[in-house]
Chain A
Amino acid sequence: MTDFMNRPAGRHDEDGEPDLNALAAWVDGRLDSAGRAELADHLASCQSCRAIVAELTRGGAPAASSWAPVLAIAATIAVAAVAGTAYFLVHERQPNSVAAPILRPVTPAAAPKSTPSVAPPPAAPSSRSSPSSDRKRAAGTTQVAGKTFHLVAGEWIDNSYRETDFLPVVQVSSRQQLDSIAALQPYAALGSHFTVVIRGTVYQVALP
């Protein structure tokens, strides 16, 4: 409806008004991955927006029952693991602790077909077993070394990657580092930004 794509999620407008569209979209589980990351940063330092989200959640607003909040803050938690925050994720990880069906994306068949103009589609598709949906997203999907990757915000994301799995994360930030990890070589063709899960470890590659 408006050019909200140009506004960083969570940023207050020129009148100091909170980004209620972004906050409501988060509570409904409908923010795309970039929006969720931006909003998480904003919420961590904005008490009034936290209060809105909390009251909205407490007040019984539906929280992501059919739209998967997969990437978002869980992603940043996983990233923080690298900064030493979440060693527990590695040492105390419980493979079955992934929060249940609520976190799984709806399959395309179950998703709302389309509600024109007021219902953006889920932005981070990741259906593990739906070849038909893969075909539909062919432009943003590729296969490398037997793995399926989806293009999300300019980055190739392994289809099996779930931030909510809280696997240990290795950040790869230089070409030399990439070259030194043999397991990553088959995926180097993905370019400078990709995330791949190999034998229970998440490699997040972001080359300058």
Chain B
Amino acid sequence: MDRHPEDDSTLVRRCLAGDAEAWHTLVDRHRPGMISLARRILPVQDAEDAVDAVLADLWQRRRLGRYEGRSSLRTWLGAVAINSALNARRAAASRAAADAAAAAPDYAATDRPPEQLHIVLREAIASLEPSIRIMVLLYYEQDLSLDAIGRLVGASKSTLSRALKHARERIRAEADRLAHERWDTSLAALREGVDLDRLEFDLREACGQPGNNRPRGVSNK
């Protein structure tokens, strides 16, 4: 898990006491891993910038003191790096979205069936209990594998697979109900002939993964 558990806790204490040498050791040890996580989110140069900025913050503003020792230092620094990278990406995306909206406001967006479909699917997901919703979202929104989700939630792959299957059935029923209530139409009409794979694809799109356009069955994971 953590190759230097004792060393890391000692290092943190020394860093918080203002020991610059300890800080350099900590940075040498963990910066590469932080950058590699941030690079999954940002272009390489931006990733390095984001990590260096957050490292400076940890040292200069003593933000390292926020580490509570509840995880390995490596995992916590990874979370710090990812959070920073996601913030940077969100900032860039909102700038881009503002530019795009200014260029071409799309007032008719919600009149289009795909938008309606995504609305009812998202609302149907939101109606699930948190314990089920989080599995659905980690799978369809975050695109985590069943193995990874299983490790997180402490459930077997087969159990998760069944849970997701049942969640899809509930989502389908609730989305259909909402479609009738909202627009006096059916889910099938919003998406002609919805089948399971198609619903999977729609769920991914509704959860904001438009780039992933390959319908994928649960069994593939």
A-side residues, CB < 8 A to B, are: 1-2, 4, 17-18, 20-28, 30-31, 40-41, 43-45, 47-48, 50-59, 61-66, 68-74, 76-77, 79-80, 83, 85-89, 92, 94, 97-100, 102-103, 112, 115-120, 163-164, 166
Minimum distance in angstroms from A92 CB to a CB of chain B? 6
Minimum distance in angstroms from A96 CB to a CB of chain B? 9
Instruction: For B34, give the chain A residue with the smallest CB separation.
Output: A59
Cα(A53)–Cα(B149), bound, Å: 10
Q: Are A74 and B155 in contact (CB under 8 A)?
A: yes
Neighbour of A76 across the interface among B73, B74, B76, B131, CB < 8 A? B131
21 contacts between A and B (CB under 8 A): A21-B68, A24-B71, A30-B70, A31-B70, A41-B130, A44-B130, A52-B79, A56-B79, A61-B75, A63-B152, A64-B151, A64-B152, A69-B154, A73-B153, A77-B135, A80-B129, A80-B131, A88-B165, A99-B150, A100-B156, A120-B69
Q: Are A119 and B69 in contact (CB under 8 A)?
A: yes
Q: Are A63 and B71 in contact (CB under 8 A)?
A: no
Q: Are A119 and B166 in contact (CB under 8 A)?
A: no
Q: Are A1 and B78 in contact (CB under 8 A)?
A: no
Instruction: For B12, give the chain A residue with the smallest CB separation.
Output: A118
Minimum distance in angstroms from B58 CB to a CB of chain A? 11
Known: A50-B141, A56-B82, A77-B131. 19 other contacts (CB 8 A): A2-B68, A24-B70, A24-B72, A44-B133, A45-B130, A55-B37, A55-B86, A56-B37, A59-B37, A63-B151, A64-B152, A76-B130, A77-B132, A85-B132, A86-B132, A89-B159, A99-B156, A116-B9, A164-B154
B-side residues, CB < 8 A to A, are: 1-2, 5-6, 8-9, 12-13, 36-37, 40-41, 65-76, 78-80, 82-83, 86, 90, 128-135, 137-138, 141-144, 148, 150-159, 162-163, 165-167, 170
Q: Are A97 and B159 in contact (CB under 8 A)?
A: yes
Q: Are B75 and A52 in contact (CB under 8 A)?
A: no
Known A-B contacts A45-B130, A70-B154, A98-B156; the reply to A21 vs B141 at CB < 8 A is no
Q: Are A22 and B86 in contact (CB under 8 A)?
A: no
Query: Which chain A positions have C-beta within 8 A of B150?
Result: 99
Q: Are A24 and B79 in contact (CB under 8 A)?
A: yes
Query: Which chain A positions have C-beta within 8 A of B5?
Result: 112, 115, 119
Query: Which chain A positions have C-beta within 8 A of B132?
Result: 77, 80, 85-86
